[in-house]
Amino acid sequence: MLYEAPLVAFTVLAQTAVGAHLTMNGFQTFSKLPSISEARMNIARFAVLVLMGVGFIFSTTHLGSPLRAFNALNRVGSAALSNEILTGAGFLSLAGLYWLMTVLKIGSEGIRKSINGLSIVVGVVFMFAMANVYQIETVPAWYTSMTTVAFWFTVVTSGLMFGYTLLNVLNVSAEGINRSMMWAGVTLIALNIAFAVMHTLYFAGISTAIHSGLQQITQLSGYVAGHVVLLAAAAALWLYAELFAAPERQKNLFVVMAFVVLFVAEILGRNVFYGMHFTSGLY
């Protein structure tokens, strides 16, 4: 079963969107794009905005009503959830504004770059704000720096893979940059696998008055195994797509498959995280 399905979807979608936003900005910084590629980049950026928007839709289903998100803003600065909503909305607004200004050629290039740079900063702050929501002292499985690390692994793996997929499917990227992104992504996935094992061992070692981390993680063992196996499969598909798939259509097919597999892996991993929710008290 999926624990807190709306939150699983929201966190993974948002982290993937921010990671893809960072990836495409990094790509644009280190490459010279012709005018036709800039138009395709706008399509890629719009896809990131859609992904982030879908994530927010899932988050409002958890709140029960979209209007409650506005109530949560009453405690900005003092409540972690309020900070998450504010920075998330800020990221989406700034990234969307930059996309709109670029498409319509509004404002000078300097102004557009400033807004884009601000969207990057707010996106990074948003990711830390999201992780901070789960730093709850009475929930031992979450009250650790490993929560922040786990969230960021989704940003740098699923986000990088989504950005890479968009750039390749839209025929924007170049072979040299593709190869570098692939090796970076596969390395990060390998580190993610190692961290997932460490995180699982940490979960298993938790013990409270009436809860056993080992018992809980045993019940979630299928999701743990699925997470690790699919991460490895995504890395293998990515390697094959970049090194062995010759025709462009075949390569793009394997790239899309790799992203889907990686995204599902992160969904399973996040389900383990929410499944480990229990308090240190007597209830």
| Domain around 23 | 5-275
Spatial separation of the C-alpha atoms in residues 193 and 221, rounded to whole Å? 15
Confidence band for 37, pLDDT divided at 50, 70 and 90: confident
Residue 86 lies in a domain: yes
Confidence band for 229, pLDDT divided at 50, 70 and 90: very high
Tell me which residue of 249, 232, 260, 88 sits closest to 161, measured CA to CA: 260
More confident residue, 263 or 79: 263
pLDDT digit string, tens, across residues 171-198: 887 778 889 999 999 999 999 999 999 9
Q: What is the per-residue pLDDT for 102?
A: 94
pLDDT of 234 > 70? The answer is yes
Inter-CA distances, 265 with 14, 71, 189, 196, 222, Å: 15, 33, 11, 11, 12
Query: Average pLDDT in the 237-255 region?
Result: 89
Spatial separation of the C-alpha atoms in residues 264 and 228, rounded to whole Å? 11
Residue 15 lies in a domain: yes
- Residues in Cβ contact with 175 at an 8 Å cutoff, skipping those fewer than 6 apart: none
Tell me which residue of 272, 269, 277, 276 sits closest to 192, measured CA to CA: 269
- Lowest-pLDDT choice from 79-83, 99-103, 153-157: 79-83
Handedness of CA 185, 191, 271, 21 (dihedral sign): negative
pLDDT digit string, tens, across residues 107-120: 888 999 999 999 99
pLDDT digit string, tens, across residues 215-224: 999 999 999 9
Q: What is the per-residue pLDDT for 54?
A: 96
Tell me which residue of 10, 90, 81, 82 sits closest to 52, measured CA to CA: 10
Q: What is the per-residue pLDDT for 220?
A: 94
Residue keyed to tokens 């460490």? 198
Give how many domains the chain has, as a whole number.
1
Tokens of 75: 């405690």
Q: What is the per-residue pLDDT for 113?
A: 94
Residue 72 lies in a domain: yes
Query: Average pLDDT in the 125-154 region?
Result: 96
DSSP string spanning 173-228? --HHHHHHHHHHHHHHHHHHHHHHHHHHHHHHT-B-SS-BHHHHHHHTHHHHHHHH
Residue 155 lies in a domain: yes
Q: What is the per-residue pLDDT for 69?
A: 58
Residue 60 lies in a domain: yes
3-state secondary structure 82-108: HHHHHHHHHHHHHHHHHHHHHHHCCCC
Q: What is the per-residue pLDDT for 116?
A: 96
More confident residue, 61 or 90: 90
Tokens of 58: 């899932």
Residue 283 lies in a domain: no
Q: What is the per-residue pLDDT for 148?
A: 97
Supply the CATH number for residue 227's domain.
Answer: 1.20.1630.10
Residue 282 lies in a domain: no
pLDDT digit string, tens, across residues 47-82: 999 999 999 998 887 666 565 656 666 667 768 888
Q: Are 51 and 194 in contact (CB under 8 A)?
A: no
Q: What is the per-residue pLDDT for 3?
A: 64
Q: Are 229 and 239 in contact (CB under 8 A)?
A: no
Q: What is the per-residue pLDDT for 159?
A: 98
pTM: 0.93
Share of the chain above pLDDT 90, in %: 71
Q: Compute the mean pLDDT over every residue in the chain, rounded to the nearest whole number.
A: 90
pLDDT of 249 > 90? The answer is no
Residue 96 lies in a domain: yes
